[in-house]
Amino acid sequence: MLEKALVGGRKYWIWMISLLVIMGVGFIMWLWQLSEGLGITGMSRDVSWGVYIANFTFLVGVAAAAVMVVTPYYIHHYKVFGRITILAEFLGVAAVTMCLLFILADLGNPVRALNVILHPTPNSILFWDMIVLNGYLFLNIFIGWNVLTAERKGMAPPKWIKPFIYLSIPWAISIHTVTAFLYAGLPGRHFWLTAIMAARFLASAFAAGPALLIIFCLIVRKTTRFDPGEKPIRTLAGIVTYAMCLNVFFFLLEVFTGFYSNIPGHMHTIQYLFAGLHGHNALVPWMWTATFFAAASLIMLLVPATRRKDDTLVVACIFVFIATWIDKGVGLVLGGFVPNPLHHITEYTATVPEILITLAIWATGFFIMSALYKVAITVKEDQQQA
């Protein structure tokens, strides 16, 4: 079935080859990083995680798109999602692959990565994150491929796949929860030490993932003969709206606790992010950009006229994507390191090689997704004709 990814028009190949070029450039940069050390990035003793872990954290959320489609379809028998479940699952595959690549890019000693398996350490959340992410990757490939194969043959999916599908639902929740636990269980990092972290992760994930899925559905409709349909997009738009409301609400809860309690440690990072602290304000423009896009997206999503029109819905979805990416990546990950445990402030700026490696990993994700979408859509086009 994979051979269907090798048949495509000119535009398809230009797209795929462009992605390969970006991947190649990033790969060379990664080789350089391997030989020089992570010193070629903008990370430091104080801000010891940067754009790699930021993107990793964000993309764990994107992988959620699948569960918001799979659950209504398989649990509530919401039939209209049947047309797009495969798109959601393959988006999950691409997103989780990017997550794993970002972790690998971030390791000081990637050749020793297998130590996590050779010396399994259940008290480490990173150990569990490795398990849930790889498990989620496996589940999505396995389920997606089997269901698609059945569809190609014009048959119902095999019955034995059902338990795997049901398992994938709590599993999707687990990848967000465990990733949130990476942060929420650390003493001395006030910004992260919050019980609502996992809930925030889920809310922003269920906004960002389905928002991307809407964009991809509309691209698929424009560029192929397969139409994901009107109704799934409307339902997804509703999901994005609810999730984005919750996401913003949860963030405001953090602001309340920090500022009403007036505990310095709970306020410092928020102050640093939105107003700057002791003259350090590198992230302030980012955070206000995120605030603007979050507010604008909420208005566009809440007003029925703009939510129901594809043109404005796409804009709203792009806004959601930008706002959640900045909030979760830039704000949450980088912000957590400022001020440092000794109340010094070190700021972080990503370097060019670091950005090129990051872009290459995104390109790898798009490459995988495009190939998988190509396969899925060709199958669906054939079915439509038959």
Partner 1 sequence: MGVDRRKFLKLAGITALGTAAAPAAKVLAKEDLDFTVSEKLLHFFAKPEGFLPGEALTATRWAMVVNVRSLDHEIAEACREACHKVHNVPHIENPKHEIKWIWEEEYHNALPNQEHEFVDEKIKDLPFLVLCNHCYEPPCVRVCPTRATFKRETDGIVIMDMHRCIGCRFCMAACPFGARSFNWVDPRKYLPEDEQNMEYPTRMPGVVEKCNFCAERLAEGQIPRCVEVAQELSKEKGREPALVFGDLDDPDSEVRNLLRSRYSLRRKPALGTNPNVYYIV
Cβ-based nearer residue to partner 1, 190 or 374:
190
Give the separation between CA 228 and CA 210, rounded to whole angstroms. Answer: 14
Site string (336-375) toward partner 1, x via CB under 8 A:
xx--xxxxx-x-----------------------------
Contact 205, 62 (CB under 8 A): yes
CB contact set of 198 (below 8 Å; sequence gap of 6+):
176, 177, 180, 181, 184
Residue 46 sits in the site that holds partner 1 (CB under 8 A): yes
Element housing 291 (H / E): helix 284-302
Among 115, 261, 383, 384, binds partner 1 (CB under 8 A): 115
Contact 173, 67 (CB under 8 A): yes
Cβ-based nearer residue to partner 1, 109 or 262:
109
Residue 187 sits in the site that holds partner 1 (CB under 8 A): yes
CB contact set of 129 (below 8 Å; sequence gap of 6+):
175, 178, 179, 182
Give the separation between CA 152 and CA 98, rounded to whole angstroms. Answer: 28
Cβ-based nearer residue to partner 1, 96 or 375:
96
Cβ-based nearer residue to partner 1, 15 or 127:
127
Q: What DSSP string runs through 122-170?
A: TT-HHHHHHHHHHHHHHHHHHHHHHHHHHHHTT-PPPTTHHHHHHHHHH
Site string (74-103) toward partner 1, x via CB under 8 A:
-----------------------------x
Among 3, 109, 222, 260, binds partner 1 (CB under 8 A): 109
Residues 255-294 interacting with partner 1 (rule: CB under 8 A): 264-265
Residue 113 sits in the site that holds partner 1 (CB under 8 A): yes
**Tokens standing for residue 211:** 């928002």
Cβ-based nearer residue to partner 1, 107 or 252:
107
Residue 127 sits in the site that holds partner 1 (CB under 8 A): yes
Residue 49 sits in the site that holds partner 1 (CB under 8 A): yes
Nearest of 229, 254, 329, 243 to residue 286 by alpha carbon: 329
Contact 61, 190 (CB under 8 A): no
Positions touching partner 1 (CB under 8 A) are 36-39, 41, 43-46, 48-49, 103, 106-110, 112-113, 115-116, 118-119, 121, 123-127, 130, 182-183, 185-189, 264-265, 336-337, 340-344, 346
